[in-house]
């Protein structure tokens, strides 16, 4: 599992662009930049929609003041779902970037994948938030339970950076 001090692995995520889905190479997106990445088990799910995304919308100005260039939300969903979720929550309008890890490539590469068949979640991401500087993880807050959103919330990450 990825840890503080590790470099992010090479992985391609997907973002909705003006002309449809576009590839986003995570190492290109974080090169020479300070980026917050937070991940959720699923778009349109309870805690993810009511707590996790809103926490980063609330704290975006505080991250901006700390020199964060971008706040990225990642979920193992398709880019169409992530786009719709970003619009419905107001996250896109608030300036958060919604990226799809459709094949769970990034999530598996950093060891954050899990399965919860009873609730229909397969190959999903654990809930976490990290600060990445030039591709290196400088802070990582991982929730013990996917239903909890405390240390991985915007406020929780601000507390450690």
pTM of the model: 0.96
pLDDT for 50-76, tens place per residue? 999 999 999 999 999 999 999 999 999
Could you give the CA distance from residue 33 to residue 66 in angstroms, rounded to a whole number?
12
Q: Where are the domains of the chain?
A: 12-158
Given a cut of 90, whether residue 23 has pLDDT beyond it is: yes
Of 120 and 42, the one with more pLDDT:
42
pLDDT for 97-137, tens place per residue? 999 999 999 999 999 999 888 888 788 999 999 999 999 99
From the list 24, 39, 43, 48, the catalytic residue is 48
Question: What percent of the chain is modeled with pLDDT above 70?
Answer: 100
**In the predicted model, what is the mean pLDDT of the chain?**
96
Third-level CATH fold of 12-158: Glutaredoxin (3.40.30)
* 73 is known as an active-site residue: no
Nearest to 33 by CA among 76, 2, 3, 63: 63
Q: Which residues contact 150 (CB under 8 A, 6 or more apart)?
A: 143, 156
Q: What is the pLDDT of residue 143?
A: 96
Q: What is the pLDDT of residue 108?
A: 97
> Residue holding tokens 């915007």?
154
Q: What is the pLDDT of residue 147?
A: 84
Q: What is the pLDDT of residue 60?
A: 98
Least confident of 6-10, 44-48, 85-89, 152-156: 44-48
Q: What is the pLDDT of residue 44?
A: 94
Burial of 132 (0-12, 13-18, 19+ CB in 10 A): buried
Q: What is the pLDDT of residue 146?
A: 75
């Amino acid at each position: 599992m990825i840890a503080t001090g590790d470099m992010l692995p090479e992985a391609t995520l997907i973002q909705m662009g003006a002309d449809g889905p576009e590839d986003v190479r995570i190492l290109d997106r974080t090169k020479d930049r300070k980026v917050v990445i937070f991940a959720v088990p699923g778009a349109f799910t309870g805690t993810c929609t009511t707590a996790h995304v809103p926490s980063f919308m609330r704290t975006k100005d505080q991250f901006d003041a700390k020199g964060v260039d971008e706040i990225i939300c990642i979920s193992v969903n398709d880019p169409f779902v992530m786009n719709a979720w970003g619009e419905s929550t107001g996250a896109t309008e608030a300036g958060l970037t919604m990226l799809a890890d459709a094949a769970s490539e990034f999530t598996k590469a950093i060891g954050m994948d899990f399965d919860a068949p009873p609730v229909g979640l397969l190959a999903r991401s654990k809930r976490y938030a990290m600060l990445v500087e030039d591709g290196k993880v400088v802070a990582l807050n991982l929730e013990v339970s996917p239903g909890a959103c405390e240390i991985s919330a915007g406020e929780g990450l601000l507390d450690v950076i």
